[in-house]
Amino acid sequence: MTENKRIFSVVGGDLRQAHLAELLADDGHTVFAYALEKHSFSDRVTKSYQMTDLTRRVDCVILPLPVYGDSDMLNTPLSLNTYAVEDLFSLFPTGQTVVAGKADHALFEKAGRSGVRLYDYLEREEFSVSNAIPSAEGAIQLAMQELPTTLHGLDVLVLGYGRIGKLLAKYLTALGCRVTVTARKYSDLAWIDANGYSVMHTRDIDGTLGVYDLIFNTIPSPVLTAPRLAELKKTCLCIDLASKPGGIDFTAAKKLGVRAIWELSIPGKVAPVTAGKIMKQTIYNIMEEWGCHA
Q: Is 150 in the site for a second copy (CB under 8 A)?
A: yes
Sketch the per residue contact string, 14 through 33, with a second copy: x for CB under 8 A, - otherwise: -x---x--------------
Q: Is 193 in the site for a second copy (CB under 8 A)?
A: yes
Scanning 35-43, 113-121, 123-131, 256-264 for contacts with a second copy by CB under 8 A, the matching segment is: 123-131
Angle, CA 52 vertex, CA 114 and CA 48 arms, to 5°:
125
Q: Is 2 in the site for a second copy (CB under 8 A)?
A: no
Nearer to a second copy, 171 or 250 (CB): 171
Q: What is the distance between the alpha carbons of residues 139 and 165, in angstroms, rounded to a whole number? A: 11
Residues linked to residue 216 through DSSP beta bridges, in sequence order? 158, 239
Using only C-alpha atoms, the chain has a radius of gyration, in whole angstroms, of 22
Nearer to a second copy, 41 or 250 (CB): 41
Q: Is 129 in the site for a second copy (CB under 8 A)?
A: yes
Q: What is the distance between the alpha carbons of residues 143 and 237, in angstroms, rounded to a whole number? A: 8
Closest CA to 54 of 85, 81, 98, 88: 88
Q: Is 234 in the site for a second copy (CB under 8 A)?
A: no
Cα within 13 Å of Cα(206), Cβ side? 4
Question: Least distance in Å: CB of 136 to a second copy?
Answer: 9
Q: Is 194 in the site for a second copy (CB under 8 A)?
A: yes
Strands (E) in the chain, as ranges, are: 7-11, 30-34, 45-48, 60-62, 97-100, 117-120, 155-159, 178-183, 198-201, 214-217, 237-240, 259-262
Scanning 42-50, 68-76, 218-226, 264-272 for contacts with a second copy by CB under 8 A, the matching segment is: 264-272
Q: What is the distance between the alpha carbons of residues 154 and 172, in angstroms, rounded to a whole number? A: 9
The residue ranges that bind a second copy (CB under 8 A) are 15, 19, 124-126, 129-130, 132-134, 137-138, 140-141, 144-145, 147-153, 167, 170-171, 173-176, 185-187, 189-191, 193-196, 270-274, 277, 285
